[in-house]
Amino acid sequence: MTWLLIASYVAFGAAALLTVWRIIVGPSILDRAVASDVLLTLVMCVLGAEMAINHHTRTLPLLLIVAAVGVFGSISIARFVARRDREGS
């Protein structure tokens, strides 16, 4: 079980680093928005995996907060881009 845990941490870490790289490089705001959604999804997956491995639900409220931040962030970015596109045309 230990090697599986280490392998999952390495996979989540590599995915997080690649996602942070996409947030930094961009090139557009939509690329950064999708990458931030992916990063929040990775955080949710790590929290869920940690709960499953340790057989507890103590971090469930944090998981729900992260999910809400992701949803509201996506909605606000979509509204911002739509408003900017209307003003630009």
CA distance 7 to 4: 5
Radius of gyration in angstroms for the set of CA atoms belonging to the chain, rounded to a whole number: 16
Tokens at 48, concatenated? 């869920």
Q: What is the mean pLDDT of each run of 10 residues along the chain (89 residues)?
A: 82 95 90 92 92 91 93 89 78
This prediction's pTM: 0.82
Cα–Cα distance measured from residue 43 to residue 36, given in angstroms and rounded to the nearest whole number: 11
Does residue 27 contact residue 43 with C-beta atoms inside 8 Å? no
**Using CA of residue 61, residue 66, residue 70, residue 72, what is the dihedral sign?**
positive
The pLDDT assigned to 9 comes to: 87
Query: What was the pLDDT predicted at 89?
Result: 61
